[in-house]
Copies of this chain bind each other. A is one copy, B any other.
Amino acid sequence: MADRVLAMNLATLRGGWGFAEAVDGCLRHSITAIAPWRDQVAAIGLAEAARIVKANGLRVTGLCRGGMFPGDSAASRAAAIDDNRRAIDEAAALGADCLVLVVGGLPGTSKDLVGARAMVADGIAAVLPHARASGIPLAIEPLHPMYAADRACINTIDHALDLCEQLGEGVGIVIDVYHTWWDRNLAASIERAGRLDCILAHHISDWLVPTRDLLLDRGMMGDGVIDLRAIRALIEAAGYHGPQEVEIFSRDDWWKRPGDEVVRTCVERFAIAC
């Protein structure tokens, strides 16, 4: 399909490049859709990042990330909500398609997943009016269950969709193949996401065997076991035809390579493996 679009999540280029270098690197390879992280934006300054986006006609497929709603005190939960409101403002300043939410895990020493999940729902509900008023959809990203404790207690697409239904307009999901490929209900849940019209982003990478680190050993598309084309077909059948966003955290491999090699490889693999 000639009209498929590769977007670059700038975490993929974190090894050597800041925001400006990453944008230049993407442009050298004709990539005009990016998804930066807030720390990358902060390092160059929000105004300058927004200027670069506008000057180059970039599409910002998402800002990473809001979320982290659970807290072990009312004050910490309120601070998270304030921070998410700021993240919404930043996403609006960048003209982002959505704010990606990594919702948070167990707060403090808690072992109460049910409670944490309630805090997530409450937190999103609290910031949703501001998101709606700002025109920024909130994109819940279900993370792999290996992150349930410390990053996100929403671990399946179906769970995220329940929240979308509960919270209503302005809330959708990210489907990241790395987090969801194993799920026996994957096909059915993607179909459901399509019916609810709430697929906001499609992230790609690959699951390596062996995986040497829980967080920082994601693979380049084609180097692992995920059937990326089959999942894309499900997502397209569900009505989503937006960009596929490459998001690879790879401390010991891709982050150590020259940025241009990483971008070039993403482009090549996008053509043949995705």
Contact = CB atoms under 8 A, between A and B. Distances in A.
Interface of A: 106, 110-113, 117, 144-146, 148-150, 153, 155-156, 159, 181-184, 207, 209-212, 214, 224-227, 230
Contacts of A148: 181-182
A227 B112 contact: yes
Among A153, A207, A225, A227, the most chain B Cβ lie within 10 Å of the Cβ of A225
A184 B155 contact: yes
A206 to B, nearest CB: 10
A184 to B, nearest CB: 5
13 contacts: A106-B209, A111-B227, A113-B181, A113-B184, A145-B146, A145-B183, A148-B182, A149-B182, A149-B207, A150-B209, A156-B184, A211-B214, A212-B214
A225 B111 contact: yes
Contact of A225 (B149, B181, B211, B214): B149
A196 B198 CA distance: 37
Q: At the interface, is chain A mostly helix, strand, loop or mixed?
A: loop
A230 B145 CA distance: 19
A153 B183 CA distance: 9
A212 B212 CA distance: 9
Contact of A150 (B106, B183, B210, B214): B210
B184 A149 contact: no
Contacts of A207: 149
Contacts of A210: 150, 214
Contacts of A225: 106, 110-111, 149
A111 B207 CA distance: 11
A116 to B, nearest CB: 10
B149 A111 contact: no
Given A106-B209, A149-B224, A214-B214, 7 more contacts: A106-B225, A113-B184, A146-B146, A148-B182, A150-B209, A211-B214, A212-B214
A153 B159 CA distance: 20
Nearest to A208: B149
A146 B144 contact: yes
